[in-house]
Amino acid sequence: MTTLTGRSAADRAPFVPGHHDGVFLSIQYLRGIASVMVLLYHAGYDLNLITEGSRPHWLASGVDIFFVVSGFVMVASTAQRPVTARRFLASRIARVVPIYWVATLAMIAILAFRGQTLPSLREVALSFLFIFYFNERAQDTSPILGPGWTLNYEIYFYLVFAALIRLPVTMRIALMGVLFVAITALRPIVPADSAFLTRMTSPIPLEFVAGMVIGHYRARIMQAPALLGVAAIAIAFAALALLNPPLPRVAFFAPPAVLIVLGGVILERHVGQRRLGALGLLGDTSYSLYLTHPLLLALLIPISAAPDQVLPLGVVIVAGSIALGFAAYYWVEVPTTRAARRLLGGARPKPPGDRTGLAASGD
Alpha helices in the chain (DSSP H): 9-12, 25-46, 62-79, 85-113, 121-128, 148-163, 169-185, 195-200, 205-216, 218-221, 226-242, 249-266, 268-271, 277-300, 310-328, 334-343
Residue 73 confidence (pLDDT) above 70: yes
Give residue 311's pLDDT: 83
> Is 169 a member of any domain?
yes
Residue 187 confidence (pLDDT) above 80: yes
Q: What is the DSSP string of 237-261?
A: HHHHHH---S--HHHHHHHHHHHHH
> Is 353 a member of any domain?
no
> Is 355 a member of any domain?
no
In the Cβ-directed half-sphere of 95, how many Cα atoms lie within 13 Å?
Answer: 31
Burial state string for 256-293 with b = 16 or more CB within 10 A and e = fewer than 16: bbbbbbbbbbbbbbebbeebeeebbbbbbbbbbbbbbb
- Mean pLDDT (whole number) for 314-341: 97
- Mean pLDDT (whole number) for 152-163: 98
268: Cβ–Cβ under 8 A, 6 or more apart, which residues? 16, 19, 24, 25, 26, 27, 222
Domain containing 244: what range?
9-112+157-343
- Mean pLDDT (whole number) for 83-100: 96
- Contact indicator for 279, 322 with CB cutoff of 8 Å: no
Q: What is the DSSP string of 57-86?
A: GGGGGHHHHHHHHHHHHHHHHHHSS---HH
What pairs with residue 355 in β-bridges?
360
> Is 282 a member of any domain?
yes
- Mean pLDDT (whole number) for 163-186: 97
Cα of first residue to Cα of last residue in the chain, in angstroms, is: 25
Residue 4 confidence (pLDDT) above 60: no
105: Cβ–Cβ under 8 A, 6 or more apart, which residues? none
Q: What is the mean pLDDT of the chain?
A: 88
Give residue 189's pLDDT: 96
Give residue 22's pLDDT: 53
Give residue 271's pLDDT: 77
- Closest alpha carbon to 47 in 302, 323, 361: 302
Q: DSSP code of 55?
A: G
> Is 86 a member of any domain?
yes
Residue 244 confidence (pLDDT) above 90: no
294: Cβ–Cβ under 8 A, 6 or more apart, which residues? 42, 103, 107, 145, 146, 147
Give residue 47's pLDDT: 84
Number of separate domains in the chain: 1
Residue 356 confidence (pLDDT) above 60: no
Tell me the whole-structure pTM to 2 decimals: 0.89
> Is 3 a member of any domain?
no
- Closest alpha carbon to 219 in 59, 80, 86, 354: 80
Dump pLDDT digits (tens) for 40-70: 999 998 888 766 666 688 999 999 999 999 9
**What band does 207 get if pLDDT is binned at 50, 70 and 90?**
very high
> Is 133 a member of any domain?
no
> Is 322 a member of any domain?
yes
